[in-house]
């Protein structure tokens, strides 16, 4: 505990000293009760008896500082969290500073970035913190002027008494306000009075990012720090047999070559020297499990789709009878490959394992997990481990894992020096933790009038866990339904990849529903709306999505895209609910000289209240670009356990030329924020594939699309 608290307290003391008075209000991320807030005093800091877990401070010069605890990886949380506090505080945004908190999960519940959950989790408590501080400032001004607090208003860090025209700045009131009682309850703003929330606010780190400041783990430097690179088994299913590191050890700048688990780490003084030395290692590996190739998986998928043993995920009505009585049965299969996360900043972490504790610095989406695993690995209590978060150069789920943190800790503990482990791009792409490869089989039974009376989905995945999302639409809208999954365990490591499972399931499902709609001679939008109406009127089993919210995004996307009204364009529709939010998309293809060209994707998103319009707009466009790019190009394939793709020359990421126009619209329904880091990604593949069908009559069923026979002659994105 000692070291963690020391770090935290040191920061507070520095701030308190700089403030030289002012108001520092501590509050709890983990509690929505204003009563648990407290004023932090110098005495409290000195005694170490601080029970709050975050703070906002107002210094006498009017500078407002807000602590942001969640890892920042481009989801813009470091800007949007403080915006919520500043809104209720009526703060002058130009005087707000944001500070990244060190890891302290005793204090910050859910100090995690993942699952699009940060804003939904903290919305109410952030608002209460801002409102409480505002209340105390207003009470202070009322006391000073001897007027009723209700006669005072606030704006841009100023308390106003309109009758007399008097005004006091928050800075002028702050020190005195720190002596006021913290109110037990406080009134929050009416949402219609929001001035800052819902506007476009620039990223608070823009200046640092565009001037190249050392924000990232890769940029972290410590005097005397060594660089380490780790050679891992080239093939999944192999283990280390022997190492000859004599040549590497003799190379200039190399300090040591050490072996742990199946890894060989070259430790030296500079990156290039370590890189060169690592290439001279002579390592032998031996078999440790199945050695699998993509061709094995393709075969396996077909077998497992017919397997008698599957885990039933959801069952409504009587599927067998429905399919027996069907007038028409539609059956279709969809498959996706493994994907690499490939954040632009490769994996890296700094560790210094000392006698008295461990210091960790770097980029992590789950700092708590990293500390816990390091504690277990080194048998050092978590209280003796500190972790400072750097900005993350992307995550996409890869940095939910702690493997690279453990490597740094292990190497540092062996060489007894401060070490930064750096992965090359090749290490990153071939080192595992992929989006799992999955194949789906969908079956729909239609009656004579085209109603869907039966629906079956089987998901087969390689280390995918439950490859279905059994309660998602159209579950609840079909009388007879069976959703099950089969899992294959493989030495190829997998993990959550932005919008886990739904990043591909959404495409497969939305493309299949398009097939069903066309088979039933129904407009795809009307088809979905009819199903939702059915689910509303006669729900089948549990319904775990909000039917009205889903209908609203469908209708908005149809309206904004001019669905069904554009004669010369081919449009494809898709809608998906994931991570609490709803997104519908329409992809639009223009056929020029016989070639279909993807022109534009319309997006209607319902993430509840939009906190930062600039961040949200880009989050959606980025999600669409991500969904489009990986549906088009992304694949990791294997030959004898070795990934075929090793760097961006063979693993194709979407580039500027290929990106269509993206037109974003938000449903403004006043619901508390429901998250946006992932939900815009899943629908894109389906919208694009359905538009291609409209333009060419060909169905894309496997990703990446570029490899499909149906793609011949299709020009996506590239300008003619």
Q: Which is nearer to another protein, 264 or 625 (CB)?
A: 625
Centre a 10 Å sphere on the Cβ of residue 60 and count the other Cβ atoms it contains. 17
Sign of CA dihedral 52, 82, 15, 221: positive
Task: Pick the closer one to another protein by CB: 141 or 389.
Answer: 389
**Binding span for another protein by CB under 8 A among 67-75, 117-125, 239-247, 580-588:** 67-75
| Contact code string over 634-653 relative to another protein, x by CB under 8 A | -------------xxx---x
Beta carbons of 431 and 423 less than 8 angstroms apart: yes
Question: Least distance to another protein from the beta carbon of 618, Å?
Answer: 6
Residues near 698 by Cβ (< 8 Å), separated by ≥ 6?
692, 710
Locate 584 and state its tokens: 């519908």
Distance CA 707, CA 702 (A): 8
**DSSP 8-state secondary structure symbol assigned to residue 338:** B
Contact 330, 447 (CB under 8 A): no
Strands (E), 398-553: 419-422, 438-446, 452-462, 480-488
Alpha helix locations (H) across 608-682? 613-633
Region binding another protein by CB under 8 A among candidate stretches 155-163, 176-184, 238-246, 272-280: 272-280
Q: Give just the sign of the alpha carbon dihedral 501, 497, 544, 75.
A: negative
Of 200-208, 380-388, 460-468, 554-562: span binding another protein (CB under 8 A): 200-208
Q: Which of residues 563-602 bind another protein (CB under 8 A)?
A: none
Q: Please report, as residue ranges, which positions from 337 to 356 form the binding site for another protein (by CB under 8 A).
A: 342-346
Of 38, 219, 296, 590, the residue at the interface with another protein (CB under 8 A) is 219
CB of 125 to another protein, least distance (A): 25
Interior angle at CA 587, CA 584 and CA 592, nearest 5: 170
Is 198 a binder of another protein (CB under 8 A)? no
d(CA 32, CA 34): 6
Q: How far apart are the C-alpha atoms of 181 and 486, rounded to whole Å?
A: 59
Closest distance between another protein and the C-beta of residue 73, in Å?
5
97 DSSP β-pair partners:
65
- Site pattern 220..239 for another protein (x: CB under 8 A): -x-----x------------
Of 308 and 719, CB closest to another protein: 719
Among 1, 17, 35, 200, binds another protein (CB under 8 A): 200
Q: Which long-range contacts (CB under 8 A, 24 or more apart) does 616-620 make?
A: 616/666, 616/676, 617/200, 617/664, 618/76, 619/75, 619/76, 619/676, 619/677, 619/680, 620/583, 620/662, 620/664, 620/676, 620/680
d(CA 645, CA 604): 35
**Residue 213 contacts another protein per CB under 8 A:** yes
Selected binder of another protein within 8, 54, 65, 76 (CB under 8 A) = 76
Q: How does strand 226-231 pair with strand 642-643?
A: unpaired
Residue among 77 and 85 whose Cβ is closer to another protein: 77
Q: Residue 272 Cβ, how far from another protein at the closest point, in Å?
A: 4
The per-residue DSSP string of 194-227 comes to: -SSTTB----TTHHHHHTT-S-BGGG---TTPEE
Is residue 629 a contact point for another protein (CB under 8 A)? yes
Residue 183 is a binding residue for another protein (CB under 8 A): no
289 vs 394, beta carbon nearer another protein: 394
Pick between residue 62 and residue 629 the one whose CB is nearest to another protein. Answer: 629
CB of 648 to another protein, least distance (A): 4
Asked if 394 interacts with another protein (CB under 8 A), we say yes
Q: Which H/E stretch holds residue 265?
A: strand 263-268
- Residues 598-627, interacting with another protein (CB under 8 A): 614-615, 618-619, 621-626
**Does residue 704 interact with another protein by CB under 8 A?**
no
Of the two residues 310 and 611, which places its CB atom closer to another protein in the complex? Answer: 611
Q: How many residues bind to another protein according to rule CB under 8 A?
A: 65
Is residue 628 within 8 A of residue 503, CB to CB? The reply is: no
Task: Candidates 15-23, 217-225, 349-357, 499-507: pick the segment binding another protein (CB under 8 A).
Answer: 217-225
Collect all residues with Cβ–Cβ distance below 8 Å to 8 and sequence separation of at least 6: 101, 102, 104, 107
The yes or no reply on residue 655 touching another protein (CB under 8 A) is yes
Q: Which residue in 38, 42, 61, 205 binds another protein (CB under 8 A)?
A: 205
Which residues make up the interface to another protein (CB under 8 A)? Answer: 73-76, 200, 202-203, 205-207, 209-216, 218-219, 221, 227, 252, 270-273, 276, 342-346, 391-396, 424-426, 614-615, 618-619, 621-626, 629, 647-649, 653-657, 659, 661-662, 719
């Amino acid at each position: 505990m000692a070291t963690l608290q020391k770090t935290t307290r040191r920061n507070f003391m520095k701030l308190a000293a700089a403030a030289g008075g002012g108001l520092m209000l501590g509050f709890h991320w983990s509690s929505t009760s204003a009563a648990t807030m407290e004023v932090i005093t110098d005495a409290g800091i000195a005694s170490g008896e601080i029970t709050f877990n975050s703070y906002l401070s107002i210094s006498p010069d009017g500078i407002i500082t807000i602590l942001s605890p969640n890892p920042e990886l481009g989801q813009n949380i470091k800007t949007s969290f403080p915006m919520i506090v500043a809104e209720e505080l009526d703060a002058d945004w130009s005087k707000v500073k944001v500070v990244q908190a060190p890891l302290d999960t005793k204090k910050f519940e859910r100090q995690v970035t993942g699952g699009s959950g940060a804003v939904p989790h903290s919305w109410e408590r952030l608002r209460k913190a801002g409102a409480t501080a505002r209340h105390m400032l207003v009470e202070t001004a009322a006391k000073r002027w001897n007027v009723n607090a209700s006669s005072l208003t606030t704006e841009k860090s100023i308390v106003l008494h309109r009758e007399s025209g008097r005004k006091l700045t928050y800075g002028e009131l702050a020190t005195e306000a720190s002596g006021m009682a913290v109110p037990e309850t406080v009134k929050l703003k009416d949402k219609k009075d929001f001035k800052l929330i819902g506007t476009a606010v620039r990223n608070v780190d823009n200046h640092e990012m565009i001037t190249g400041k050392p924000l990232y783990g890769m940029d972290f430097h410590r005097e005397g720090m060594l660089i380490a690179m780790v050679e891992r088994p080239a093939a999944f299913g192999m283990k280390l047999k022997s190492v000859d590191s004599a040549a590497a050890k003799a190379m200039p700048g190399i300090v040591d070559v050490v072996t742990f688990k199946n890894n060989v780490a070259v430790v030296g003084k500079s990156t290039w020297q370590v890189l060169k030395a690592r290439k001279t290692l002579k390592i032998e590996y031996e078999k440790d499990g199945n050695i699998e190739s993509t061709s094995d998986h393709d075969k396996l998928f077909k077998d497992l789709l017919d397997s008698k043993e599957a885990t039933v995920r959801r069952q409504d009505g009587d599927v067998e009878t429905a399919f027996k009585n069907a007038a028409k049965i539609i059956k279709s299969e969809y498959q996706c490959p493994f994907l690499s996360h490939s954040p632009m900043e490769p994996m890296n972490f700094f560790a210094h394992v000392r006698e008295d504790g461990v210091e960790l610095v770097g980029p992590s989406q789950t700092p708590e997990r990293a500390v816990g695993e390091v504690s277990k690995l080194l048998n050092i209590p978590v209280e003796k481990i500190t972790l400072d978060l750097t900005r993350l150069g992307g995550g996409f789920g890869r940095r939910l894992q702690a493997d690279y943190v453990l490597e740094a800790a292990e190497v540092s503990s062996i060489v007894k020096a401060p070490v930064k482990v750096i992965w090359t791009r090749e290490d990153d792409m071939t080192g595992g933790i992929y989006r799992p490869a999955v194949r789906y089989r969908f079956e729909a039974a239609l009656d004579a009038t085209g109603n869907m009376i039966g629906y079956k989905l089987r998901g087969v995945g390689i280390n995918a866990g439950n490859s279905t999302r059994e309660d998602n639409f159209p579950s609840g809208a079909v009388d007879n339904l069976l959703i099950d999954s089969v899992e294959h365990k493989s030495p190829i490591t997998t993990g959550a990849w932005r919008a886990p499972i739904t990043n591909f399931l959404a495409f497969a499902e939305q493309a299949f529903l398009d097939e069903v709609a066309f088979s039933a001679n129904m407009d795809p939008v009307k088809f979905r709306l009819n199903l939702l109406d059915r689910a509303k009127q006669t729900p089948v089993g549990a319904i775990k999505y909000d039917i009205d919210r889903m209908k609203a995004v469908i209708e908005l996307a149809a309206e904004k895209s001019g669905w069904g009204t554009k004669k010369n364009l081919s449009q494809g529709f898709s809608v998906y609910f994931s991570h609490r939010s709803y997104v519908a998309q329409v992809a639009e293809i223009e056929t020029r000289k016989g070639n279909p060209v993807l022109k534009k994707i319309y997006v209607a998103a319902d993430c509840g209240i939009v906190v930062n319009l600039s961040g949200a707009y880009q989050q959606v466009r980025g999600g669409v670009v991500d969904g489009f790019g990986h549906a088009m190009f992304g694949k990791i394939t294997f030959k004898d356990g070795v990934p075929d793709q090793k760097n961006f020359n063979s693993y194709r990421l979407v580039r500027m030329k290929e990106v269509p126009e993206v037109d974003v619209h938000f449903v403004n329904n006043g619901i508390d924020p429901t998250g946006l880091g992932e939900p815009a990604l899943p629908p894109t593949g389906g919208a694009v594939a359905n538009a291609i069908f409209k333009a060419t009559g060909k169905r894309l069923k496997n990703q990446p699309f570029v490899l499909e026979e149906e793609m011949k002659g299709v020009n996506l994105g590239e300008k003619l």
